[in-house]
A and B are shown apart, each in its own frame.
Chain A
Amino acid sequence: MATLLLFVFVLAIFLGFELISKVPSQLHTPLMSGSNAISGITIVAAIIAAGVDDGHLMTTVLGTLAMIVATINVVGGYLVTDRMLGMFKKKDGGKS
């Protein structure tokens, strides 16, 4: 299982470089905050940590804290990116 995951890891790194290598500089900020929101995928691990019942108080406490910060990262990250991108307009398009 671990080897398979490492395989996925290596492929995903290459994929990431291919995907993002040519981004115009005007999109650097949205790209950064948008990818930052994706890094909030840790929320999946936080849900598991907060939701399992293993009889350990620490697991639940740390899991709940992780849940809070991961949700801030996800919700805040996507909303702020959307807000920014909503402002990028073409000359005559869109309302203001």
Chain B
Amino acid sequence: MSASIINLVYIVAAVLFIFGLKMLGRAGTARRGNLLSALGMFLAVVATLVNKQIVTFEWIIIGGVIGAAIGAVAAYRVKMTSMPEMVAMFNGFGGLASLLVGWSEYHRGAGIGEISSFTMLVTMLAVLIGGITFTGSLIAYGKLSEKISGKPLQFAGQKPLNAVLLLISLACVITASMRPEDPATYGILLVGILVSLILGVLAVMPIGGADMPVVISLLNSYSGLAACAAGFVIMNNVLIVAGCLVGASGIILTQIMCKAMNRSLINVLFSGFGASSGSSGGGGPQGEANPITADDAYYILEAARSVVIVPGYGMAVAQAQHAVRELGELLEKNGCEVRYAIHPVAGRMPGHMNVLLAEANVPYEQLVEPQDVNPMMSTVDVAMVIGANDVVNPAAREDSSSPIYGMPIINVDQARTVFVLKRSLAAGFAQVENPLFFLDNTRMLFGDAKATVSSLVAQFKEE
């Protein structure tokens, strides 16, 4: 098929990506948007297959079948609680694909003796960004699935080492693009690959588990930029447009996450937040926590007219979302207004809690954002905090010496009664003490969140 028709199909694919992303941004159209974008991808693949350059199909088919099988099985088998690490993993594969494509294109270009400075420059960028995305995502995957410690890992001289590695990779980019035809350039390319893989590991290791929403968003953006660079390598518009769209969406999500924690991106990436446990906080909160049994909690809930549920990562760990939905329905039947207040950084990736509650069939009209629920918090009878900690810590509002001071929180402490479902009094992921637990209107429900909620459900049903 002629090149111009192929290019027209690429334009159609790019338009479908644009409409698809736009529709993904609204709840009613999101699913169709994703289908449109998939259709765009399908068209782009078909148009590429009829390209005259393509002469052998067996490796395309073998690679495609293997990849599709792995991708489909992973997509259907993943549990909703494991979604953050799954997204991190797919992201890493996207980055690896750009690295491999850049590497392979170098062989092709060098083989026919046609490799310009510009091509070499973008090849190096595709390889470097792809490499950082790949290993960075692997480490993020390890931290999210708790295969490696979620704690920030720092060692002396880490920052200077990162800086040196970054300089080496930049030097590789510059020297390679200045002498693209030189056979020694291949060595530089390989050094660049190695350095980028190490950089990806070192860049994500020092970042704590609670900051993972920021990291995944940023890596998402990188995978788009890597695809974009690969687009420059093969001079292909659809890669550039699609890569840019992903790059921009990743940056926007990163900004939203940073704002929700009141921290700058620089601070998230380099501070090793939570590495220095215990030393922070204004002398620690005073007083004693008031524990309560599930029986007593039931009587308070039964009389409540308005309940706000605040879920956090602990709900995901305890797999309590179905029990929580059941409790919410029973409360509603009892004439109580039930809302779920979702903090943007609750959980381990942007929107994590929304996905879990949707899986448990909580209608999304009941999900509210902090700025909408905070003004009416004083009229709420019971705020139930399930496995959340830092996002409800009043120190963020009141204690200017707290490391999370200034972070927008859900003001559950202003509700008439606060239930906190928690395993123990230990500090959250950010390792900051929470004075909420010691307030007069707070009652602690110690134990496994799922067991606690289930026993509340059982009491409502008995009646």
Interface size class of B (residues with CB under 8 A): 35 or more
Most chain B beta-carbon neighbours within 10 Å: one of A17, A42, A71, A88:
A42
List the A side residues contacting B354 at CB < 8 Å. 25-29, 88
- Chain A interface secondary structure, helix, strand, loop or mixed? helix
Within the assembled complex, what's the spacing in Å between the Cα atoms of A5 and B53? Answer: 21
Q: Give residues in B with beta carbon < 8 Å to A.
A: 17-18, 20-22, 24-27, 30-31, 33-35, 37-38, 41, 44-45, 48-49, 51, 53-57, 59-60, 62-64, 66-68, 70-72, 74-76, 78, 80, 83, 86-87, 90-91, 93-94, 96-98, 100-101, 103-105, 107-108, 111-112, 118, 216-217, 220, 223-224, 226-228, 230-253, 256, 342, 344, 349-352, 354-355, 358-359, 361, 363-365, 367, 369
List the A side residues contacting B86 at CB < 8 Å. 76, 80
CB distance from A68 to the nearest CB of B (A): 4
List the B side residues contacting A53 at CB < 8 Å. 55-56
Within the assembled complex, what's the spacing in Å between the Cα atoms of A8 and B118? Answer: 16
Most chain A beta-carbon neighbours within 10 Å: one of B38, B63, B244:
B63
Tell whether, in the assembled complex, residue B104 and residue A58 are in contact, meaning their CB atoms are under 8 Å apart: yes
Tell whether, in the assembled complex, residue A78 and residue B355 are in contact, meaning their CB atoms are under 8 Å apart: no
Q: Give residues in A with beta carbon < 8 Å to B.
A: 1-2, 5, 8-9, 12-13, 15-17, 19-56, 58-60, 62-91, 96
Tell whether, in the assembled complex, residue A56 and residue B239 are in contact, meaning their CB atoms are under 8 Å apart: no
The 4 closest A-B pairs by CB, nearest first: A71-B67, A16-B248, A67-B63, A28-B351
Within the assembled complex, what's the spacing in Å between the Cα atoms of A88 and B235? Answer: 39
Tell whether, in the assembled complex, residue A72 and residue B74 are in contact, meaning their CB atoms are under 8 Å apart: yes
List the A side residues contacting B87 at CB < 8 Å. 29, 32-33, 36, 80
Give 19 pairs: A residue, B residue, CB < 8 Å, sorted on A. A9-B244, A12-B240, A13-B248, A29-B83, A29-B351, A32-B253, A34-B37, A38-B224, A40-B227, A41-B238, A42-B227, A44-B236, A44-B239, A46-B97, A47-B54, A51-B55, A69-B67, A76-B75, A89-B358
